[in-house]
Structure 1
Amino acid sequence: AALQYVREDNYRSLVEALRDRSDYPGYVPDLDFDQGFDTDGFANDGSHWRAIRYKPFLGTFWATNGSTDDVFIRLPSAFRTDAGGNYSRAVHKLNYAILEAAICADPSQTDALIDREVETVDENLAGFDLDGDGTVGGSITRIKGLPSNYTGAASNISVRRNLYPTGTEFLHTVRYIDPDATSMIARRMKEVRYSRKLIDPSISERPKIYSREMNDKEEGRVPIYRGGPDLGLRNAFGWQLQGFIEDEKGRLRLQTHEEHVFCMGCHSSLGVTCDSTFTLPRKVPGAAGWRYQDITGIQDIPQAGHNEPEILTYFQRVQGGDEFRANDEILARFFPGGVLDENTVRTASPGGANDIRFLIAPSDERAMRLNKAYMALVKSQRFDFGRDTVISPPANVHPSIQNGDTQLRQTGKVYSDGTLWLDWN
């Protein structure tokens, strides 16, 4: 019954219900998953959503910890039209290539030193030398250095490092686990998350936003966000987020205000994000990263600025496979006798015989136990207690907190070198 449940479609009924509501002002999901995506990753339904293939974020979004997901991006219409206002796939792809260079390159590099693999694009459309070969023209597959502006009808829009253009949209679905599906991504959705960048604070305004946040924390003030569930909540950096989650019968419903605030915690209050987002900096470079999510073939490369593989580093520092160190399967597989088997983990790194699925995909048995645990949470609707899929009560949680020094810094367990960005080289 659980396997049948996770293979059911609960997305289309949400779309149909919202389309019929004249009193609903929010986002109506407009991506038709059944029509699929073309070879460039663009939705076949004409919605202009584009699929991103990426290395999943650490811990929470590993299938072994309870959820799978997929992510899509959509740029404003100016980015997909030429100077005459006509749709151009070539212009569209070129602007995405420029965005990829602006967002995905190692932040420690200066603009001039950027060297990013991109999908094959037409340099003639840009009108300037993008690949640094001293000439303008022909097909290119790398961008070296960062151009000042986008192209086509978006040629008046400046390229800003690690910042998305105003009007950029993301669609993110969080899903159950299907042991037999590609990358274990089930048809049934736990959540549908939508975000759009409504305003773009200036470079001078951004430090002030951080200062206000710091002052509020010091004075004990909790964050306040504009908006409500019907439209979504907006953070101080101009992103409006709206989400849908399963009701007790498994139908997707609008989140409450409190449930929306849960989303804002990660997309407003974490310093590790890139312009309040997570996924694009972790995109597989070039054309291979513009298609529907599939972790097959992605190996455990390091984070930017690191020497060791990312997941290996996580295992070393956490001494487990999740934030609670409660993933018994990871502990049994990779921590025999309580000691990390680094050699086995490294087989998923470049040069090894495995990919990250070897590290982060659960067994079929664990997958179904995780599905059933979350189904119980859905029936209770107690999302105010969190959304982590926990099979049994975790032992590594303090029943109460006593004030005092944690000794973490003294024992070398405070790390400040974590980053979203990856070293694909």
Structure 2
Amino acid sequence: MRDRGVRGGRGRGRRAGLGFAAAAASAALAAGCGGEGYDPLATAAARAGRMGNPEASIPPMCYATTAGGANGCWTCHTTGRGPNALADHELQRAYSFSDAARKNPWTNLFEDLSAAAARTSDAEILEYIREDNYAPLRKALSARPGYPGYVPDLDLDAGFDEEGFARDGSGYRAVRYKPFPGSFWPTNGSAGDVFIRLPVAFRVGADGAPSREVYKLNLALLEAAIASPSPLPGEGAGPGAGLLPEGGAGREVEPVSEILAGADLDGDGAISAAVTRIRRLPARYAGGAAGVVVRAWVYPRGTELLHSVRYLDPDRPSLLAARMKELRYARKVEELDDWAIARAYELEAEEKDEGQPPVYAGAPEVGLRNAFGWQLQAFIEDERGRLRLQTAEEHRACMGCHSAVGVTVDHTFSLARKVPGAAGWRHQDLRGMPDVPQAGHAEPEVLTYLRRAHGGDDYRANAEMLARFFPGGVLDEEEVRRGAPGGDRDLAYLVAPSRERALLLDKAYRVLVRAQRFEEGRELSLGPAKGILRVVEEESTGLGEGERVFLDGRVHLAW
């Protein structure tokens, strides 16, 4: 989810004389003084008014070197499709940074944390990652009268039923999806899960009574609207009322009722009680949401997405540890029409051309809003591992990937990459998931990424991936194809770390947590930093000259 060149950036620089060990000791001492109570809002409040890096929306991956034609930029910077008309593939060719952004502010990447991590035992880190820091956050925020932000209302302890619905009645549903390639694979540090909730009107029938069947239908319509591959501009389907590209196979969904929809969804000329494919979207959603227009590749107003970023538990098949590194929440507070979306892109381009830093409405207490109607709020660990509200600067780091990036669908990633149908409505698990190609591609996605990026991450720093799939420095394509459809393995085989690496990554990240230097990055290095620019000295990436620019990056998948 890079945002190279969307904005310039400004580094804050290292705290004078304060390395990781000193910072961690200082934080631990401060935390222990007086045994003060847990206030998840305190840090953000204490740092209110501190501007810091005004362009923290440029993610660290944008400082990756492209030596030898290594290109991980194609995954995000591509030809926009559907309502996302942004074509930003030129950012593969150039480091389009402001002068201030040319010094890499994400200095944590240059720290080799291997030695510091090794001082933590396996038993200690396993005990740490298996502690729950989510429930205490819920309790603490619920006890704060007048707090205007998001109070996590999903009870994870209650779990999910066989259809992926939260048992607590909150309306959340688990989404099983294929992680975005590169830095978001578990082998590069974290596991994650996603939950979606639509407004009450989408969960009730025309009579106002709760209806799971209506809710399932509306979620299926949204799945088809968001996860169906979008065409290039002028290739048939337009935004408007949300027609899917004609002549295609449509989207596989869980069994839903065309009777409730009042439309022939699968195009067979009949209205059936249960269909499992949507080839043509109806004009409107169903039940209480019958007044809401279905728009291809646009979420309806009020949609909520909840995403946790977790430590890696090597003894859990899903790799999802109980402890969260971050909790991220997004709500569609405004649904822009097509003209307003186009105008928002124009304004963003004008601001960039004028060298203006990005400006986002909002504050940590309520989250920041992008120009496309999404409000984002996030929590991150404090020095004790408790989740706290992110500061204004830390929130800005979320915005680049969810503002103006060519690959996204309505500025999101996960639902567009959902496993089709009923198999995609359950808690995240990579086991049994095939490495399918991106839409419009013939080759599996992981294989394509490894070919183009020359490694298992943007920096070519994942030594385990290099050893497994690049023996002797040459990509073993047949080994990678084992995880593709028809192979004898799955996606988990390709992108899950070994137990040793998972624990080492957990230990290293805990060093970052203790130091509380997130303004200098949330990614880490397990060895000497390679493939990362400290200073951007050249405008050109060299990818254009080397004919290594790719215009086919898609968030959608060819399931």
2:196 counterpart (57, 73, 80): 73
1:411 Cα offset (Å): 0.7
Residue in 1 that maps onto 2:258: 123
Contact persistence 1:124–1:136 (CA under 8 A): yes
Give the Cα separation in 1 of the matches to 2:278 and 2:417.
Answer: 17
For each residue in 1:69-128, what CA deviation from the matched residue of structure 2 results, as whole angstroms up to 9, or x when unmatched?
000000011111111100111111011111111111110273234511100112211122
For each residue in 1:16-72, what CA deviation from the matched residue of structure 2 results, as whole angstroms up to 9, or x when unmatched?
000011131100001111111011111000101000001111112211000000000
Alignment pair present for 1:341 and 2:464:
no
Matches within 5 A, 1:237-248: 237-248=372-383
Tell which deviates more after alignment, 244-253 or 21-30. 21-30
Contact persistence 2:261–2:282 (CA under 8 A): no
SS of residue paired to 2:193: strand
Residue in 2 that maps onto 1:329: 464
Residue in 2 that maps onto 1:186: 321
1:145 Cα offset (Å): 1.3
1:404 Cα offset (Å): 4.4
Q: Which amino acid aligns with 1:200?
A: E
Give the Cα separation in 2 of the matches to 1:405 and 1:38.
Answer: 51
With normalisation by structure 1, the TM-score equals 0.98
Residue in 1 that maps onto 2:431: 296
Alignment pair present for 1:400 and 2:539:
no
SS of residue paired to 1:357: helix
CA RMSD of aligned residues (A): 1.1
Give the Cα separation in 2 of the matches to 1:167 and 1:113.
Answer: 32
Alignment pair present for 1:55 and 2:178:
yes
Identity %: 57
1:401 Cα offset (Å): 2.4
Alignment pair present for 1:376 and 2:499:
no
For each residue in 1:358-411, what CA deviation from the matched residue of structure 2 results, as whole angstroms up to 9, or x when unmatched?
110101000011001100000011111111132223211223322343321021
Give the Cα separation in 2 of the matches to 1:195 and 1:139.
Answer: 32
Aligned length: 424
1:173 counterpart (287, 299, 308): 308
Alpha carbons of structure 1 residues 412 and 151: separation in structure 2 relative to 1, 3 Å: same
1:140 counterpart (275, 287, 290): 275
1:233 counterpart (353, 368, 371): 368
Residue in 2 that maps onto 1:161: 296
For each residue in 1:300-356, what CA deviation from the matched residue of structure 2 results, as whole angstroms up to 9, or x when unmatched?
110001111001000000000001100000000000010000010001101100001
Alignment pair present for 1:43 and 2:43:
no
Contact persistence 1:113–1:145 (CA under 8 A): no
Contact persistence 1:183–1:294 (CA under 8 A): yes
Residue in 2 that maps onto 1:354: 489
Give the Cα separation in 1 of the matches to 2:465 and 2:547.
Answer: 24
Select the structure with the greater relative contact order (CA < 8 A; seq sep ≥ 6): 2
Residue in 1 that maps onto 2:81: none
1:100 counterpart (223, 226, 245): 223
SS of residue paired to 1:204: helix
Structure 2 residue runs of 5 or longer lacking an equivalent are: 1-123, 238-243
Give the Cα separation in 2 of the matches to 1:399 and 1:255.
Answer: 26
Alpha carbons of structure 1 residues 39 and 145: separation in structure 2 relative to 1, 3 Å: same
Give the Cα separation in 2 of the matches to 1:62 and 1:241.
Answer: 22
Give the Cα separation in 2 of the matches to 1:311 and 1:162.
Answer: 24
Q: Which amino acid aligns with 1:356?
A: L
SS of residue paired to 2:318: helix
Higher strand share: 1
Alignment pair present for 1:215 and 2:350:
yes
Give the Cα separation in 2 of the matches to 1:169 and 1:248.
Answer: 29
Give the Cα separation in 2 of the matches to 1:394 and 1:412.
Answer: 27
Contact persistence 2:455–2:462 (CA under 8 A): yes
Residue in 1 that maps onto 2:128: 5
Alignment pair present for 1:268 and 2:403:
yes
SS of residue paired to 1:300: coil
Give the Cα separation in 1 of the matches to 2:540 and 2:456.
Answer: 26
SS of residue paired to 1:340: coil
